[in-house]
Chains A and B, each alone.
Chain A
């Protein structure tokens, strides 16, 4: 008992001292080691108005208020697997691009100015730039119409019961682009009372296998099918600014004519084109934080910089 009485306080004091040193040391070591280790060169697509990456990481308080107010809900918070910026907001353009909605509520919600409050218009954002990363799969280059491509894919995947929402989405875009004669043919096929976008769309509810085949063939032979895919421009929130222009080109080897989607200075890198690109892996992708001047200077686009 006496041994314990003399022994305990000393060992306890010793434990207190060593544990304090160990714990504070661990905290310092964590800071010293984790920061350079976790600060990778990988860039994320940040919400509009974000400061330069380094300053952004320093300023973001990780409250997630930008995510709360985002109307299309495309902002996510980074986890530990995203490395350095635990809790910082980013956008995965393939899952949903920023639509640059009016007023930019995410910027207004940011309490620290990590999303710069000077930005008030979506067209002035500098999130990154779109880059045609896979010209080989790009439908524009191949001269394939996007709606025909999607319909065929749908048919291939599941001919007996195509995904109704996707089918409806395709058909609603298709119907808008049909000529008057084609609309009439469509009306006759499904015995519809009149020609309007609404009534024409009412058909997929009672769609049969043979009908789908008919629709695919019909789409293929329509005037629209001659037009190559231009989804990236059509879906662009800034399409009036013409961030993508389709340039006529000729392949020097085969003499084949094709159109090339050329990204212009007005692109802000919102990511909607990447989201909407109909090919299995997006042919157009956002390089976050890439600036027009850097692109002009021929900056190398690293694959790992793509989100």
Chain B
């Protein structure tokens, strides 16, 4: 169905009339979404960093060597916190390099917003985003139904796999960690474990939207903990918001927006679950959502 320019004008007029303080009882007409600014920037960053991993081995360009489990950025150790904790628990040896790597990761993601690792770096997230598009298409055609799991499973997994590392003396989760498997695939070529990753993607496409990232992935939990304190957050401007709630339709974890957009309680999206992916910023036609730095914004 094609929209005539007259239709468009009337709709935009309606939206304009709706602008201003959010939190209305009725929702405003749905504006049409066209910009992909932050998504494009984010994908470029994600692909660039994963290319650096690839280039470190393929072209021997030593900027970012290793994989997402453990790497070196210009010689500085970076270690995935969950992998590091597992190694410490399973070997029961505390290596200085591991601590240095985790602290460096902490400092970097303290600056860039905790779970931004998920949306800005993690190659599985990127594949899952593409899978999500297929999922939504199939759902629209009523071929499949979405199923939800308990979001707390991620925390259970975090505990379970750390306990398993301690009990079995082996980094059990690293055998099934899709992030590490894809990262190794990018740098060192394919392995049979990719079947597991494909199975996960199929689960997401056919059964449950973004299942791994939303409900299961314990890797993101470490970064989430950093996100608790990281000041880089999505800012919500009450005055501009028309409360159309379209931001919640694109969000990986829609409930993070409820405190602000639904209830007007907070100026920043304070939930540590927020991946700072910027999809809500892109979809907002009211300029009510933007990237901000909590505490610092007020000073300037």
Contacts and interface: CB of A to CB of B under 8 A. Distances in A.
B153 interface: yes
A236 interface: no
A55 interface: yes
Interface string A10-42: 001001110110011001101100110001000
A63 B67 contact: yes
Contact of A61 (B69, B148, B170, B188): B69
Given A65-B70, A68-B57, A79-B193, A111 B98 contact: yes
Given A59-B93, A68-B57, A86 B174 contact: yes
A63 B65 CA distance: 9
Given A20-B150, A24-B153, A55-B91, A64 B184 contact: yes
B34 interface: no
Interface in B100-133: 101
Contacts of A111: 66, 70, 72, 77, 79, 95, 97-98, 101
Contacts of A27: 156-157, 160-161
Contacts of A60: 87, 171
Interface of B: 56-57, 65-67, 69-72, 77, 79-80, 83-84, 87, 90-93, 95, 97-98, 101, 147-150, 152-153, 156-157, 160-161, 164, 167-172, 174-176, 180-181, 184, 187-188, 191-193, 216
B184 A23 contact: no
Interface string A210-252: 0000000000000000000000000000000000000000000
B171 A58 contact: yes
Given A20-B156, A24-B157, A61 B216 contact: no
Contact of B147 (A15, A57, A69, A79): A15
A62 B95 CA distance: 15
Given A24-B157, A31-B164, A111-B79, A61 B147 contact: no
B69 A63 contact: yes
A77 B150 contact: no
A5 B172 CA distance: 42
23 contacts: A19-B149, A20-B153, A24-B156, A35-B164, A55-B93, A57-B169, A59-B87, A60-B171, A62-B174, A64-B66, A64-B188, A65-B65, A65-B70, A67-B57, A69-B65, A79-B192, A79-B193, A80-B192, A86-B174, A87-B69, A111-B77, A111-B95, A112-B98
A20 B65 CA distance: 37
A69 B75 CA distance: 13
B87 A31 contact: no
Contacts of A31: 160-161, 164, 167-168, 172
A156 to B, nearest CB: 35
A54 interface: yes
A102 interface: no
A254 interface: no
Nearest to A79: B191
A57 B156 CA distance: 24
Given A19-B149, A23-B216, A61-B87, A30 B172 contact: yes
Contact of A64 (B67, B95, B160): B67
Contact of A67 (B71, B152, B188): B188
A300 interface: no
Nearest to B94: A113
Nearest to B101: A111
B144 to A, nearest CB: 16
Contacts of A23: 149, 153, 216
Nearest to B69: A63
A47 B153 CA distance: 37
B164 A58 contact: no
B85 to A, nearest CB: 11
Interface in A73-126: 77, 79-81, 84, 86-87, 109, 111-113
A87 B157 CA distance: 21
A57 B66 CA distance: 18
Contacts of A28: 160, 164
B139 to A, nearest CB: 17
A260 B93 CA distance: 44
B79 A77 contact: no
Contacts of B69: 61-63, 87
B191 A65 contact: no
B97 A113 contact: yes
Nearest to A78: B191
Given A59-B93, A80-B191, A112-B97, A35 B83 contact: no
